[in-house]
Amino acid sequence: MFTTKESLYINVIKYDSQLKLDYKKIKNEQIIHTDNSVFLINDDILSTDIAQKLNTSQEENDFTYISTLLLSDTTKLVPRALSAKLKDCEIGKFNNEYDIAVLKTTLFETKNYFAKTGIDYIYSAFHIMNLRLQKNVCRNELLLFLFNNKVFVLIVNQAGLIVFHQTEDLATFESVKKTHFYEDDVDGQKLFDEIYYLELNEIIHNILDSFYEKKNDVFVEKITILYVLKQLSPEQVEQLNDDLMLQVEYHPINIDEELFELSKDKHLKKSFTKPRKKVKKRNYNYISAFILLGLLIFGAYSFFNLIMKERASARVETKVATTKVEQLLKIPDHINLNDKIEQRIRDVFNIIDYDIILKELKIEQDSMELKGVFLAEDTYFKSLKPKLDILYKTSEYISLDSQKKVNIESTVISKGVIPLSDIVYKTNSKEYITDELISTERVSEQLKILLPENSILKLVSSTNEGINRYNYIVNILVKEPAQFFELIEVINHELYSINISYPINMLRTELGIEIEFNLVFNQPK
């Protein structure tokens, strides 16, 4: 029987503190399935869990193509007649007039990031912009693409040909936070918004001034600003119109869709890398089925005879082994329980973009309550709700000040947990210490050693239904959520079953983040 090949395209886009994975499965040139995942990241190394997720997808589909954008995009457009003379650069195709060049060291950085998984296509932000030029008629236009605190610039003439290109840096929110010229995060966000606008305004003016000094035959009549994450307000866009005395348009752009279009059109060959050779594994299912059936019949016959011969002696051994297994099963796998909670919290953090200033977060077994400052009226519906719908069945948005249009104190309540898919949770592989009964006082002392200094530990109850459980409420103060995840890692290394349980409350205070959660110490009777 003839079958149609299925292909899987995965876009991996690295943002400042997030890594987004977008999946598209193709059959008969039609998209039959889509999915996406978002991970928090804090270093320049592809984490093991993300690599494992990508490799699992590749194992399941022989025709998997992974695409990304350069981690450090310092590319330059070079006239095609001159590109061959560049020695320290990798050259990619761009259009009929230009090739695009990237330093080999810069390209190696991106390749090395995907060393655990492999990579098929690597593109520049300029490829995204050029794709838009191919799909839209642009004449005498300045095109800006705002991505990862950079401004990618193209100017096209009356004929729609590129006559100018440039890259500029923008201020980051983290750099503004370090100034300490504000009293709280709301003021910090306002300051960042002002700096961002003023800096972008200055960049556009400088670009136009520089361009007109060199080119006298082209006059820019329109400015188009493309963005991934909305930063400018309608009022600021209108102000740009007035300041520049030009038509300014502000449009969102879906990088995932653009990358998918680039990687799917393999004949264009614009990537800095060639896709890995895909080989479909030969199907021996039918042969294997016959062999397996024969082995099963033979094995069943042999096994039956063996069982009958050794039945008497096996009874005693089985009884002993069963007793030991039952005893071990009574002790909860604390690593597995902790990992499930940690992944749930991380997923909640992953969906909160910078346009929400989080003040309080309460996560329970089947619900979540979030309180914070939403920077715009549509922040919840455009930014938060689509992501919440992946984690919870229902969500309710409550504005605490319906009169305000910006910096709105709001509450979001979500209910009905949707199980996380495609996640393999950690499990304990070590044997628990079970040869002694630890007193309540010793348990408390043991837990205090694990907890941060000045933590509050309160025993609220204990049960002994087959296993001794000591239930505590713990209150800790941390500077950032990462310290809470580090505490979980410390607990996971214990040879005692110690698990975190719901509810988990996080409250932003002047001194830091106050976290309150339940902690359970388990030991056999």
Q: Which pLDDT tens digit goes with each residue over 284-313?
A: 454 555 566 667 776 666 666 666 666 645
Does residue 129 form part of some domain?
A: yes
Find the mean pLDDT for residues 16-20: 84
Q: Please give the pLDDT value at position 309.
A: 62
Whether residue 369 is found in the same domain as residue 296: no
Cis peptide before 503 (omega within 30 of 0): yes
Whether residue 155 is found in the same domain as residue 214: yes
Name the residue with higher pLDDT: 293 or 521.
521
Does residue 63 form part of some domain?
A: no
Does residue 169 form part of some domain?
A: yes
**416 by DSSP, 3-state: which?**
strand
Whether residue 441 is found in the same domain as residue 490: yes
- The pLDDT confidence band at residue 205, using thresholds 50, 70 and 90, is very high
- Portion of the chain with pLDDT greater than 70, in percent: 88
Find the mean pLDDT for residues 8-18: 89
Domain edge (last residue) among 268, 293, 313: 268
Count of Cβ atoms closer than 10 Å to residue 479 Cβ: 9
| Dihedral sign computed on CA atoms, order 189, 190, 194, 195 | negative
Whether residue 490 is found in the same domain as residue 369: yes
Q: Two tokens at 493?
A: 């290394």
- The pLDDT confidence band at residue 459, using thresholds 50, 70 and 90, is confident
Find the mean pLDDT for residues 73-82: 92
- CA-nearest of 370, 372, 381, 364 to 417 is 364
CATH number, position 209: 3.30.420.40
Whether residue 307 is found in the same domain as residue 397: no
Question: 485-496 burial string, b = 16+ CB within 10 Å, else e?
Answer: eebbeebbebeb
Whether residue 360 is found in the same domain as residue 500: yes
- CA-nearest of 505, 346, 495 to 17 is 346
- CA-nearest of 473, 477, 427 to 455 is 477
Does residue 95 form part of some domain?
A: yes
pLDDT tens digits for range 84-118: 888 889 999 899 899 999 999 999 999 999 999 99
Whether residue 290 is found in the same domain as residue 420: no
pLDDT above 60 for 271: yes
Does residue 357 form part of some domain?
A: yes
Q: Please give the pLDDT value at position 405.
A: 84
pLDDT above 70 for 398: yes
- CA-nearest of 254, 235, 258 to 128 is 258
pLDDT above 80 for 42: no
- The pLDDT confidence band at residue 156, using thresholds 50, 70 and 90, is very high
Report the mean per-residue pLDDT for the chain. Answer: 85
Does residue 242 form part of some domain?
A: yes
One DSSP character per residue, 122-154 reads: EE-HHHHHHHHHHHS---SEEEEEEETTEEEEE
Count of Cβ atoms closer than 10 Å to residue 190 Cβ: 14
- CA-nearest of 151, 110, 97, 107 to 129 is 151
**359 by DSSP, 3-state: which?**
strand
Does residue 492 form part of some domain?
A: yes
- The pLDDT confidence band at residue 193, using thresholds 50, 70 and 90, is confident
What is the C-alpha end-to-end distance of the chain, expressed in Å? 60
Q: 479-485 — which CB contacts under 8 Å span 24+ positions? A: 479/512, 479/513, 480/513, 481/345, 481/349, 481/506, 481/513, 482/42, 483/452, 484/345, 484/513, 484/515, 485/342, 485/346
Find the mean pLDDT for residues 155-181: 84
Whether residue 291 is found in the same domain as residue 396: no
Q: 171-180 — which CB contacts under 8 Å span 24+ positions? A: 171/195, 171/196, 171/199, 172/16, 173/354, 174/16
Distance CA(242)–CA(425), nearest Å, equals 55
Distance CA(522)–CA(500), nearest Å, equals 11
Name the residue with higher pLDDT: 216 or 210.
210
pLDDT above 70 for 328: no
- The pLDDT confidence band at residue 443, using thresholds 50, 70 and 90, is confident
Residue tagged 């021996």 (tokens): 284
Q: Please give the pLDDT value at position 110.
A: 94
Whether residue 250 is found in the same domain as residue 342: no
276: CB partners within 8 A, 6+ apart: 118, 120
Whether residue 205 is found in the same domain as residue 341: no
Q: Please give the pLDDT value at position 439.
A: 79
Does residue 41 form part of some domain?
A: no
Give residue 398's domain range: 334-524
Domain edge (last residue) among 245, 268, 291: 268
Whether residue 91 is found in the same domain as residue 229: yes
Q: Please give the pLDDT value at position 325.
A: 43
Split into its structural domains, the chain has a count of 3
Name the residue with higher pLDDT: 495 or 66.
66
Q: Please give the pLDDT value at position 436.
A: 72
- The pLDDT confidence band at residue 43, using thresholds 50, 70 and 90, is confident
Whether residue 211 is found in the same domain as residue 355: no
One DSSP character per residue, 438-473 reads: PPHHHHHHHHHHHSPTT-EEEEEEEE-SSEEEEEEE
Find the mean pLDDT for residues 496-509: 93
